[in-house]
Structure 1
Amino acid sequence: MDQIKVILPNGTACLNLQKILIKKQTITILPNIIPLSNIKVTGKETFRISPENLNPITSLEEKIILTDIIYNYPKSKFNVIQSLQFSPIIAKLFYELIYNDLSIEDINNRIYFNNSEHWKSIYELLQFSYQEWKHRIQQLKKQDKANYQINMLKAEVEKLKSFTILDSTEHNTKNNYNLIVAGIIFIMKQNK
């Protein structure tokens, strides 16, 4: 069972699956259940990935960069404190965009705001911030958190090509947990 690896989007999902496995299946030896953020590349895989992909930006670096970008935006009306408070919100938005394979333009294309001036100014700030944020991360020879996690997951999948992989990244509902439990039981029976 310890040879089975289940990768879930976050720690809460991992804990929920562990509880279900222990409670419903009375499994005493759990599979290796890890959140996506804990995937690390080790061994030979390290040499197959470019150095930039192994070096994610830290939360502090990202906050400083975004605060500076927001504060120095030419049309900015934000002071340093407001920029500092706004930066984690923008960081989360950028993470979600990248992780869900969306561009900053998708926000403007998918949301209809009657072409209000207020929305236009927000969108311009987001567009400027996004481009500048990407540029500064590249200058640091680092990678944003979403792409880092995506690359680590790809490396992990590449490493595990001979194993069965269950994907529950869309929605962590009770049905998905049941599917994972059923998959784990199926894999256990095949490995006997």
Structure 2
Amino acid sequence: MIVWIDPIRIRLRKKTIFLDRDGVINEDREYYVKRPDEFVLYPEAATALRLFLQLGFQLIIISNQSGLGRGIISWDNFQKIHNIMIKRLSFYGCPPAAVFYCPHRPEDNCFCRKPRPGMLVEAISNFDIPSLECFFIGDRKTDMEAATQAGCRGIRIVRKGRRTPKNRFEVQNLLEAVSLITKFRLQGD
């Protein structure tokens, strides 16, 4: 597991929005985001992330990056992509407090690779985050499985064209996730 922490932004016992990276914050690619020029933020991402911060959440990114373990993404490009993400999110006023990456392939059977909850458990444990006040926003079934195992509420992004959201925990983008979480908080769910 690779962990990046911003010591200025990370807060103990703080309600948290955990986010998958590819397909949630930035456009996913069929064969991985391999180079810095392939990292493209979704248009609504920065606005939604700023709204989460205004609601009092801290942001922590939790991302499988098996392209590293497969040798498809070089470590140099991976670091450049990470730096670009941090710079862009900081420029838009929504930097993450921490980022957790799993570089393992599925067949490595590690505890940190989603659908296993290792990265979430590590963050919750290390920063004493109350899991009942956390949400994990992802775009895959494996994200939702990891959220459930870690005791977080999962919200799945189903982008237009892939299929229609089927239940109240599925939305089409991060702005809809902000609305859903605001609704949960108002209703005391």
State the structure with bigger RCO (CA 8 A, min sep 6), 1 or 2. 1
Q: TM-score, normalised by structure 2?
A: 0.33
User: Which structure's CA Rg is the greater one?
Assistant: 1
> Counting helix residues as a fraction of each chain, which structure ranks higher?
1
TM-score (norm 1): 0.32
The structure with the greater share of residues assigned to strand is 2
